[in-house]
Chains A and B, each alone.
Chain A
């Protein structure tokens, strides 16, 4: 049998996503983690005393907590060989012209300014550990919406910041939350006032660009009563040969009647450890939606969660994971029903290829007294070959009798019949497989803004083409 024409996209991929600029950092902390380095970071940022103390306490917790023994293999992370802080330009820029040239080149290739020209309300692009480019649409400012990098949030709005920071995910929550609390830098800080609906998505681009650099961004979003915001975070990282660590913390508070949607598309290079804690508190009648796409990285452990605190609260997690050769995507969701009449849905779709492994790990917890809870979990896995692996760990802890919990899981393979059908129309095998995969994740893609949907389909295409032959 003849072989479908081989398309070599390795070089192209590197060009598009794996480029890197010569390092040119104003400040670069030493490798490794110590109280001195933490103090230095805090001093560099001119932070208030309470934050410096919190960081040091968190470092202590980080050191005492053992590595998690469940989930993915994390034994190869060498914490002493990581840069915990870099600052790539001294002051933040507010217009595109002020952004340094090499950084601009990176963003140009990622399409940030184009994106902004189209319909962005604000762009906060994180380059290394500090937000260098940041703009916010004028009418949002007038409505009192705050959209800053987290460092500026701490500096400019100290009371608001201190009231909420670390309340959703305290440092002691888990080892990596402690690490983030100790070393955090950058991220987004958003406040949406009562009754304000932000009708265009707020977006941030993140990148890691220094070898062995940890990125510990910290995002805090507060949606006041009856407000709405959609925040989008996209990540691509250059290809490097030594391991990188990304350990973010995202805290969200959704107050009475408010709705927050948080969309992430991540495409870390395949040497990155991506260990993220994301959690939201949803109050009376509030809705929290996580839309979470995980491509790339060596290991991802990420379980966006919603704590449904008061009656009528609603939580949604819609996620996809794509694991290729040597990758393990351990992703899922957590829903904690802490009040009656709360509802949650989890939809997880995973794709494994070329020996990659995807794991769904999810928890639905119903606390005593939370009657009339409804929860539905659906996990679908698609395997592209016989070497690839998918496993499912759905946990349900229920301390209440009047609840409705549904769970549905499917594992399927790309079928010969589907491939034959598409190929009989002249479509090549790679393209046919790509179509099947993109069709499989369509319920996810259709929730994305158009340009992200297009980008995601293209990323899938690159992933699929990478293994032809």
Chain B
């Protein structure tokens, strides 16, 4: 059995079935990419895996290290090692990044406000942040800003990867992480992700475009069309898509260009 298994997952949104039986297997150390055109169900996949309440699971199973996830709340899934880097990170006014990161770390450590020994100390917290912040070129002042408030597109995505680096999940879902990124940011973000890849970490990159895959080479690529995986293979699948686009499955004019370049 794989470390992360999606078995015949069917998900609906507002009564409409979007994912029509998706199966994937990701082992620790591997990087997988799920590629698909608009409306193929990519966002539904990432949201449903994390447990967004608006997405109804209609069938199937998701296992992380043998543990079934679909009955669990998002926070429980996270504490088991699942991570989602959001396509559109959410603004939380009045809550500083430092407070947010510390609270998340403490939650992961089982600190409930009582046993101080479980809480992360200030020194350890600083040390944990130092390296990823350096790699991601994130300034210290960033920690006193409110979560995603007034962040540029690049800052938001870098912040998502910083959280990932700090929380050290065993399975990370990266939802359109390269969208809205300038070329510098995509370099820093990829550098950070590449430094984490391998070892205990499984990665699932969810993307429309091939751009990010040039920076983070996937071991496996899956094509998602109309709620189903229509092709799986090695990184050569991405290369093919760059030439042909999704035209094989959907009627998309100039599809090849649309896959290679971000609009």
Contacts and interface: CB of A to CB of B under 8 A. Distances in A.
Contact of A421 (B73, B86, B103, B113): B86
Interface stretch (B90-98, B127-135, B215-223, B247-255): B90-98
A113 to B, nearest CB: 22
A424 B94 contact: no
A443 B113 CA distance: 24
Contact of A425 (B53, B54, B107): B107
A427 B95 contact: no
Contacts of A417: 90
Contacts of B74: 420, 423-424
Contacts of B92: 418, 421-422, 435-436, 439
B31 interface: no
B78 interface: yes
Given A418-B90, A435-B103, A436-B95, A425 B167 contact: yes
Nearest to B146: A439
B75 A443 contact: no
Q: Which of B71, B76, B89 has the most CB of A within 10 A?
A: B76
Interface stretch (A1-9, A114-122, A210-218, A258-266): A1-9
Contact of A439 (B53, B95, B108, B163): B95
A374 B74 CA distance: 48
Q: Which of B72, B86, B104, B163 has the most CB of A within 10 A?
A: B104
A438 interface: yes
Given A421-B90, A435-B100, A442-B94, A426 B73 contact: no
B136 interface: no
B89 A426 contact: no
B50 interface: yes
Interface in B52-89: 52-54, 71-79, 83-84, 86, 89
A13 interface: no
Contacts of B83: 424
A106 interface: no
A428 interface: yes
A425 B172 CA distance: 12
A425 B95 contact: no
A443 B72 CA distance: 35
Q: Size range of the interface on B?
A: 35 or more
Contacts of A428: 75, 107
Contacts of B86: 421, 424
Contacts, number: 90
Interface string A412-453: 000011101111111111011001101111110000000000
A461 B89 CA distance: 25
Main secondary structure on chain B at its contact with chain A?
mixed
Main secondary structure on chain A at its contact with chain B?
helix
B104 A425 contact: yes
Contacts of B107: 425-428, 431
A418 to B, nearest CB: 6
A422 B95 CA distance: 11
Contact of B100 (A423, A425, A442): A425
A182 B27 CA distance: 78
Nearest to A4: B73
A363 to B, nearest CB: 28
A427 B146 contact: no
Nearest to B84: A424
B112 interface: yes
A416 B54 contact: yes
Contact of B76 (A2, A418, A436, A439): A2
A130 B5 CA distance: 69
A448 to B, nearest CB: 14
Nearest to A427: B107
Interface in A403-418: 416-418
B94 A441 contact: yes
Given A420-B52, A424-B50, A424-B84, A429 B93 contact: no
Nearest to A416: B53
Nearest to B73: A2
A423 to B, nearest CB: 4
A450 B102 CA distance: 19
Contacts of B71: 1-2
Nearest to B50: A424
Contacts of B51: 420, 423-424
Interface string B122-161: 0000000000000000000000001000000000000000
Contacts of A1: 71, 73
A5 to B, nearest CB: 9
Contact of A423 (B78, B91, B94, B108): B78
Interface of A: 1-2, 4, 7, 416-418, 420-429, 431-432, 435-436, 438-443, 461
22 contacts: A2-B73, A420-B50, A421-B86, A423-B74, A423-B75, A423-B78, A424-B84, A424-B86, A425-B163, A426-B78, A426-B107, A426-B167, A428-B107, A431-B103, A432-B75, A435-B92, A435-B103, A438-B94, A439-B93, A439-B94, A439-B146, A440-B93
Given A424-B83, A426-B75, A442-B93, 19 more contacts: A1-B73, A2-B73, A4-B73, A420-B52, A422-B100, A423-B75, A424-B74, A424-B78, A425-B104, A426-B108, A427-B103, A427-B107, A431-B107, A432-B75, A436-B92, A439-B95, A440-B93, A442-B94, A442-B95
Q: Please provide the 3 A-B residue pairs with the shortest distance between their CB atoms, ordered closest to farther.
A: A439-B94, A442-B94, A426-B78
